Amino acid sequence: MARRYDPERRQRIIDAAIRLVELKGIDALSHRTVAAEADVPLGSTTYHFASLDDLLVAALEQVNCEPQTAIQCWSDGLEGEAPLVDALTRIMEDYASGDSGRIRLEYELYLAALRRPLLQPLAAEWIDGMVTLLSRHTDVRTARALVGLIDGLLLQFLLTDRPFDREEVRSALARAMGER
């Protein structure tokens, strides 16, 4: 039987992995579940990605490069005349009120780097990108502290049933920037 030419197969596999992580988390990811989600033979996933870590790297690279990624959204949100603390609070509120699957996906892939060394450079690139972005509006040390605070606040939002508290977030960000 002749092999069917399918130039989009690798991309469908990556897209399927992203959907699975977004809907069910990284623990649901296997070559078998990705093949089923992508509607490709199991052998295709192992042909294109020898390991799940290789597939996760491709997925994280794609998520980091998509136009709706956090860094691009944050960059767009920081344009304008609003004070940095207000702009960051508004962006976080918008981010938290949007599709929680997307924010969960980003943090699932980001935190997977704790146990998967291949993902660590990509996670570091994301952190550095956020620090660079915020450094356009404040000094590097404050930008680094803000990135840590933002990550912590968004993770707390994801992990609890508490609603987003705009004033609490604004107050925390203001304190980190040395404002009152």
* The pLDDT of residue 141: 96
Structure tokens at 142: 């404050």
C-alpha distances (whole Å) from 139 to each of 78, 128, 131, 133, 136 are 15, 14, 9, 11, 8
Which residue range forms the structural domain that includes residue 85? 66-176
* Same-domain status, 95 and 122: yes
Would you say residue 4 lies in a domain?
no
* Same-domain status, 41 and 122: no
* The pLDDT of residue 62: 82
Would you say residue 144 lies in a domain?
yes
Would you say residue 143 lies in a domain?
yes
* The pLDDT of residue 2: 41
* The pLDDT of residue 148: 96
Cα-Cα-Cα-Cα dihedral sign, residues 96, 98, 104, 106? negative
* The pLDDT of residue 46: 92
* The pLDDT of residue 7: 80
* Same-domain status, 86 and 169: yes
Distance between CA atoms of residues 161 and 159, nearest Å = 7
* Same-domain status, 57 and 85: no
* Same-domain status, 47 and 80: no
* Same-domain status, 127 and 144: yes
What residues of the chain score a pLDDT lower than 70? 1-4, 65-70, 99-101, 180
* The pLDDT of residue 83: 93
pTM comes to 0.76
Long-range contacts of 59-68 (CB under 8 A, 24+ apart): 59/14, 59/17, 59/18, 59/21, 59/109, 60/109, 60/110, 60/112, 60/119, 60/122, 60/123, 61/122, 62/14, 62/18, 63/18, 63/105, 63/106, 63/109, 64/122, 64/125, 64/126, 68/102
* Same-domain status, 110 and 139: yes
* Same-domain status, 90 and 59: no
